[in-house]
Structures are given as structure tokens and as C-alpha cells.
Structure 1
């Protein structure tokens, strides 16, 4: 008979080791389809590394790709710490982007030092308000937030498409469904001239440090951890569980909304329906790979971004589909989930004794 016995507390060092091992195992498993495709594994991974780190342009592209992943990863990590299963970061990202474009495309005439923070704040508020609805449904009516946040992604995306085909459509866009461009005064400045990397990366890193400080040094962070560990016990101890869930939902949605702000105000300059290739869903992988650690989210996002950017470069050189990146990311998530089981439980094989032996 197989028995699962709980282990002791999971140390941070062990969690880091599990995440690194999961990433390594995912790369090893992804080598199998490469070999069937007739491609040298070492050559392919070498090209992937070069495509992500081989030049200043490649490195900045990787950081640019990592920026929204850090923010959506933080959004998932914050919510999951409180056992609030936010699967709607994709929709919250689009809501933040829509609000940023609405404010930053000419609705307000302000100088850049005032307009840029206003655009950033508008995107964060929009993302937070989107998450407020599912959070209230969970706390007031007991509605499963996994269903509501997931389905809300499609509702928001359809709403964005409606706005891009209607009131917010760019009259100079030659018929393409896109918004009016962000004003230069509302755009996030570039960090390096003639590169796409922008101040959204700084915002993401500051957000990671802020969430780390929140978890480790504040009463609210303690309340989040307590509610996540055992909500009824936290309620019995006097912690306001409902208020904690609402605050967590607002913060989680705001972080995802900031990812949308960075994509339109720092990178693309206008909003389209294909703004995100799935950053909201990839953020869940980032958060799980990081063990819900805010600092770990930064490194996990860099790893995922390097895989995506490197796979694009490798695909052009070898002809192997860049969908290999999705395969690696999916395998990394599966490895983290499986290793998490063994991290928390010890498997013991117990032999059943016969009735006579038991009586003796």
C-alpha cells in the first residue's frame, strides 16, 4: 500500500532547487522532439542562448519580453498566496491597456511628467476593478473565481474588439481595427536609445520589490499568508478575511493592468486585439515556477522570456517550429507541479500484514 506522509516546512533553498531542477528537466525532455526532427540538440540550444543573450539587441529584446511576464507573474503570485485563484490576468492586461489608451491618446492635455503617471495609474485602476467583480462574487456568494476570471478574459477581449471597431477606432488607421496612438507625452521613455526596452521594466522591478516588502515586512502581508494557509482559522483569529481577499484582488488586477500599460505606452504605441500573445496565462507559469516568490518571479520571467526569444531565433536558423518554446514552458510547469507533490509529501510503501499476523 502506498501512503503519502506530509514532510516538514519547505525551505526557500529547497524551493529554489526544485524550480531550477524543473527548468532543467523541461529542457532535457524538449530535446526528444528535437532529435526526432533531425536537429542537433546542442546546436539548437546554443542558438537559443545566442538568440536571447548573444548581443545587446538580443538581450534587450529578452528583457522587453520579460517585462509583462514579471507583472502578470506577480499578479498571479499575489493572488495565489491568498488562495484567490486569479486566472484572469489576460483580461486585466487588456483592461489596463484600454484605459491607458483612453487616457493617453488625447483625452487629457497634460505635460509628460503628469500624463505618464496618470496613464500608469489609469491602467492599474482598470485592471484592479476588473478583478474586483470576481472577488466580490467569491466572498459574498461563494462563486468559484476560477470560472469567473477565466470567462471574463473572453468578455473583456470582445469588449476591446468592439471598442476598436467603434468609438476608439483610429480614423487614420486605414481601416485596421486599432486605437488611436498614445501621445508622445504619455509614452513610457526608452531605457536605451534605438532599442525597444522601456521604463516598464523599471516599473516591473519596483513592483517586485514592493510585493516582496509587502509579504515580508507588513501586517497586511502576514494577513495574506494567514488567509492563504487557513482562512477559517484566520477569521477566528480576528483577521478580516473578506477585506483581505478584496485588497488582494485589487492588487493582483492592478499588477496585470500595469502589464497592459507597458505594452501600449512603452512598446507598441497603440492598442490592437492581438496585443498579448498570452502574457496573462504565461504569468501563471512564471508564478508557479517561482514558487510564488516575488523575487523568484523576476528570474522565472527572465527564463521564460529567454526561451521565447531564443526559440524565435533558433527557429529561423534551423527550421524547427518556435512552438518548441510553448512545449518547454508547459513541461516546466508540469515538472514544478509534480516536484511540488514530492516536496510536500513523502511516499512510503507499507506492506499489508495478514489477519493472523495482525492478531499475533
Structure 2
């Protein structure tokens, strides 16, 4: 018995879904090993994670609240990766989007909420988009590596934000705590459920995923993005404006990450601080890969990742096992997805030895 690898022409939706689910299950099985070494029961730990993430209305709302920025940063990574534009800078784009929202919504403009909220969303989208357009233009003009540029810009933006909230944007009523002046009440996103933190940013994320799905599946731009991602030289030969398409993708990708920053600062905190994001930009890459770069799948992948993080905090308090278990689950999920990606590209064909010799 022998086998050979055969490239797939195209992977079905069912196979992609099976790979994503299989990656999550494989990660949970692998994480069971360190849980056992820590003296805990994997089944008990996972049960507590599920209970902590979905066991009550409060827990479920916190999971959805945590998933909201992950949906937007996941979409940012998904649309860029479809065009083979490697955006690793969603974290910085998130912060610059939040900064734009604070600059506009803390008193620069006086508007009713119906105008103020769309204005800060547009400001955050454009600021985040610009942070991705610049590396893309450098790539096109000088051949610069967008991975390096976007990654390093994360640290530049965060340090810039820290400088501002320690200086000209610092709230004089913050008792020395490094945070910006607060947003006006008109610039804050309304809550979806009274007395809970869940806000309209979730609706924005869901709407963005639907609009992105329509764009990818039903529009000329979606076709151009797919063509550029599959073969840039062939797309250029076919008359597709590759450079313009890449700039459009960069604007959309960075803008979605900027909206994640607007969502957090306007829906959750009400002001900008250096700890606004615990790594939503980087986790968005995991979300996009778990979803197979599907805009709709990104929503479910974001909820899974958010549930792991929220549930792990509850599990840690109950069992004493470190909540860093969540980081391990997410990291292993990504690794398993990458392995699963191999089976999306190739199928294994088994052959009998005599048939293989006959073929020779």
C-alpha cells in the first residue's frame, strides 16, 4: 500500500467547516495534557469554561461583548489575507481608530447622537484605513515587506497613544491615572441590554460581516480581490487594476480594525487608555484563520475565541488552574488550522503497491 498527494481544485464549504471544527477539537484534546499535569480534570475544566462563558445572561453578554472587537479585527485580517496582503497591524489600527474617535467625540464637535456616532465611526474607519494604506503604498513603490511594517507600526502607535494620554489628551479629573478625556454622552454607543455592558458595537460587527460577505461573493471588487489573491501577475495580465485593488483592500482592512477601536472606546470604556486592547488585533488573525477567511464564519470563530477567554477566567477562579490556558487553546487552535489547511490544499490518494508499479 502506498499513497500520493493530489492537489485539490477547490475545497468544499463542508470540508472547510470540518477542518475548522476539527482544529478546535484537536486543540482542546492537546490542552487536556497540561491540565492533567496541573492536577485538574480536563472535562471539569472545559465544563467550567462553558458555564463561565454561557451559563447565565451576564456570562453570555460578556462573551458577546468580548467577541465584538474580535469580529471586526477578524474581518480586517480575513479581507486582507484574501488578497495576499498580510496585515499584522490590526492592533495599531485599533488604537489609532480609538484615538480618532476620542479626538472627534470628546468635544471637538457638538452633535446629536444620530450624527455624532456615525461621525466618530467614519473618523475611526479612515484613521485605521490610513494606517494600512501607507504600508501598502510602500510595498508597491519600494517593495517593502508589509508584515514587518505593519507589525512595527503597532508599537509606534501604542507609544504615540501613551504619550498623548500622559500629555495633551490626559483627563485632568483622572487622579493621575493615564487616560484620555472622556467621550461626550452623545458619542457613546447605546447598550443593547440594560445594566449589562453589551452594546451596539455587536450589531456593527454583524452588519460588517454581512456586507463583507456580499462584497466578496456578489461584487466586481470581490472578484478582483480573489483574482489578485490567487495570482497577481495573471490578474494584471487580465486587465484588473492590481495596485488600486490592493489599496482598496488595505483601506477596508485597516478601517475595520479602526472600527474595533471605536467600538471599544465608545461602547465599553468611554475613554482611551493604554490597556484598551489585550491583544484583539493579534487574536483577530487567529479568528480569521479559524473561519477559513469567511466573513460569516468570522462571527462564529470570534464567539469561540471570546468564550475561551471569558470562560477561562471563571474556570481559573474555581479550580486554581491558570487562565493562561485560554492562550494555549487559541494558539493550538491556530496551529491545528494551519495543519488542516494542508488537507484543504491536498487530498491523499491510497494505491496498492502492484497498481503503483503498473502505473510506472
Q: How would you bin the TM-score normalised by the shorter chain? A: over 0.9
Aligned twin of 2:264: 263
Report how many aligned residue pairs link the two structures: 356
The superposition leaves residues 249-303 of structure 1 with CA deviations (integer Å, 9 ceiling, x where unpaired) of 0000000000000100000111111110000000000000000000000000010
Aligned twin of 2:289: 288
Aligned counterparts of 1:347 and 1:11: Cα–Cα separation in 2: 16
Q: How does 1:159-198 map to 2 (within 5 A)?
A: 159-198=160-199
TM-score after normalising by structure 2: 0.96
The superposition leaves residues 291-343 of structure 1 with CA deviations (integer Å, 9 ceiling, x where unpaired) of 00000000000100000000010001101000000000000000000111122
Q: How does 1:216-235 map to 2 (within 5 A)?
A: 216-235=217-236
Aligned twin of 1:7: 8
Aligned twin of 1:141: 142
Structure 1 range deviating more: 38-47 or 294-303: 38-47
5+ residue gaps, structure 1, are none
Look up the SS of the partner of 1:181 in the other structure.
Answer: coil
Look up the SS of the partner of 2:84 in the other structure.
Answer: coil
Aligned twin of 1:243: 244
Look up the SS of the partner of 2:6 in the other structure.
Answer: strand
Aligned counterparts of 1:46 and 1:207: Cα–Cα separation in 2: 32
Aligned twin of 1:330: 331
- Alpha-carbon distance, 1:111 to partner: 1.2
- Asked if 1:307 corresponds to 2:308, the answer is yes
8 Å CA contact 1:134, 1:145 repeated in 2: yes
Aligned twin of 1:96: 97
Aligned counterparts of 1:216 and 1:4: Cα–Cα separation in 2: 30
Q: How does 1:31-70 map to 2 (within 5 A)?
A: 31-70=32-71
- Alpha-carbon distance, 1:350 to partner: 10
Aligned twin of 1:119: 120
5+ residue gaps, structure 2, are none
- Alpha-carbon distance, 1:2 to partner: 8.6
Aligned counterparts of 2:223 and 2:121: Cα–Cα separation in 1: 28
8 Å CA contact 1:139, 1:245 repeated in 2: no
Aligned counterparts of 1:90 and 1:260: Cα–Cα separation in 2: 9
- Alpha-carbon distance, 1:346 to partner: 3.6
* 1:194 to 1:81, Cα distance in 2 relative to 1, 3 A: same
Aligned residues: CA RMSD: 1.9
Aligned counterparts of 2:27 and 2:180: Cα–Cα separation in 1: 39
Aligned counterparts of 1:123 and 1:9: Cα–Cα separation in 2: 37
Aligned counterparts of 2:162 and 2:275: Cα–Cα separation in 1: 10
TM-score after normalising by structure 1: 0.96
- Asked if 1:206 corresponds to 2:212, the answer is no
- Alpha-carbon distance, 1:147 to partner: 0.6
Please list every run of at least 4 consecutive aligned residues from structure 1 whose deviation after the TM superposition is greater than 3 angstroms: 1-5, 346-352
Structure 1 range deviating more: 111-120 or 192-201: 111-120
Aligned counterparts of 1:295 and 1:246: Cα–Cα separation in 2: 23
Aligned counterparts of 2:149 and 2:97: Cα–Cα separation in 1: 18
Aligned twin of 1:157: 158
Look up the SS of the partner of 2:197 in the other structure.
Answer: coil
Aligned twin of 1:272: 273
